[in-house]
């Protein structure tokens, strides 16, 4: 392994990490919003929206991100809708992640005993108040492990961004190998940078999980 080569590639990998994180976190924020909204729709069993959410979940959970990105980036411009590669990345991650986040939030919501809703309602709280102040906080704390798994999953999914010309970590490595054929150095840096990105998330996640375990009621 040639350390001079590694050093000269470092700035490129840093740029790639910055881009991956930027798109990654925006996409994850979007997916959390979608997830929360979708879970609320399912929780309240709002008629038509419930069906739409169901279709959305199945559609996005059963197609690869690569296909979704292809559609957003290559197909939409053909019918006149043009969005930048970065927006495509954020949208793709957000929509894919949203489908998974809904399911994570829903499993949390469903694990809260019905008696709590009934009690809250009988105390005179409205349906919305019950959801926001009683059910949701407990559900979220239960959903945390699932949500974090989704976050890590989504950050790793950024590795298919090369198709839409985004210089993420994976593409930077492939591109450098294609140009200069320093395979071992490039792949070593790739592994190290993915770890730099994901290890803190994993570690923070396990801390968060431990803290939030006490938010539950009764046990």
Partner 1 sequence: MKKNLFNKVTGLALVSALAMTGLTACSSTGAAGSNTANNTASSDTDNSESSSQGFRTLDEIKESGVINIGVFSDKSPFGYVDENGDYAGYDVYLAERLGQDLGVEINYVSTEAANRIEYLQTGKVDIILANFTVTEERAQEVDFALPYMNVALGVVSPEGAVIDSLDSIGADDQVIVISGTTAETYLTKNYPDIKLQKYDAYAEAKTAFENGNGVAWANDNTEVIAFSLENEGYVVGIPSLGDQDTIAPAVTKGNETLLAWLNDELVALGSENFFHAGYEATLLETYGADYEDTLVIEPSKN
Given the structure tokens 């375990």, which residue do they identify?
Answer: 213
Q: Rule CB under 8 A: say whether 171 interacts with partner 1.
A: yes
Nearest CA among 193, 151, 188 for reference residue 18 = 193
Instruction: Among 10, 18, 199, 215, indicate the residue that binds partner 1 (CB under 8 A).
Output: 199
CA-to-CA distance for 161 and 64, rounded, in angstroms? Answer: 12
Q: Which is nearer to partner 1, 127 or 211 (CB)?
A: 211
Buried b (16+ CB within 10 A) or exposed e, 59-84: ebeeeebbebbbebbeeeeeeeeeee
Q: Which is nearer to partner 1, 115 or 179 (CB)?
A: 179
Residues 109-148 vs partner 1: string with x where CB under 8 A?
A: ----------------------------------------
CA atoms lying within 13 Å on the CB side of residue 57? 21
Q: Rule CB under 8 A: say whether 82 interacts with partner 1.
A: yes
CA-to-CA distance for 179 and 165, rounded, in angstroms? Answer: 16
CA-to-CA distance for 198 and 153, rounded, in angstroms? Answer: 10
Instruction: Among 78, 122, 124, 214, indicate the residue that binds partner 1 (CB under 8 A).
Output: 78
Q: Rule CB under 8 A: say whether 67 interacts with partner 1.
A: no
Q: Rule CB under 8 A: say whether 18 interacts with partner 1.
A: no
Question: Using CB under 8 A as the criterion, which residues of the chain lie in contact with partner 1 when the complex forms?
Answer: 1, 73-74, 77-78, 82, 85, 162-163, 165, 167, 171, 174-175, 177-181, 183-184, 187-188, 191-192, 195, 199, 203
């Amino acid at each position: 392994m040639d350390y001079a080569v590694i050093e000269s590639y470092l700035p490129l990998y840093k740029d790639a990490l910055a881009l991956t994180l930027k798109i990654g976190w925006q996409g994850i924020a979007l997916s959390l919003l979608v997830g929360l909204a979708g879970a609320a729709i399912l929780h309240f069993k709002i008629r038509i929206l419930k069906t739409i959410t169901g279709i959305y979940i199945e559609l996005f959970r059963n197609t690869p991100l690569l296909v979704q990105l292809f559609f957003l980036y290559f197909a939409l411009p053909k019918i006149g809708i043009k969005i930048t590669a970065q927006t495509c990345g954020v949208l793709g991650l957000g929509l894919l992640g949203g489908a998974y986040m809904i399911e994570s939030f829903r499993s949390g919501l469903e694990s809260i005993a019905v008696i709590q809703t009934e009690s809250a309602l009988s105390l005179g709280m409205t349906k919305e108040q019950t959801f926001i102040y009683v059910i949701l906080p407990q559900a979220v704390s239960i959903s945390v492990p699932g949500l974090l798994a989704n976050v890590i999953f989504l950050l790793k999914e950024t590795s298919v961004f090369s198709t839409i010309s985004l210089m993420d970590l994976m593409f930077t490595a492939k591109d450098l190998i294609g140009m200069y054929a320093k395979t071992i150095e490039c792949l070593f840096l790739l592994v190290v940078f993915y770890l730099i990105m994901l290890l803190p998330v994993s570690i923070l996640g396990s801390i968060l999980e431990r803290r939030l375990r006490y938010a539950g009621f009764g046990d």
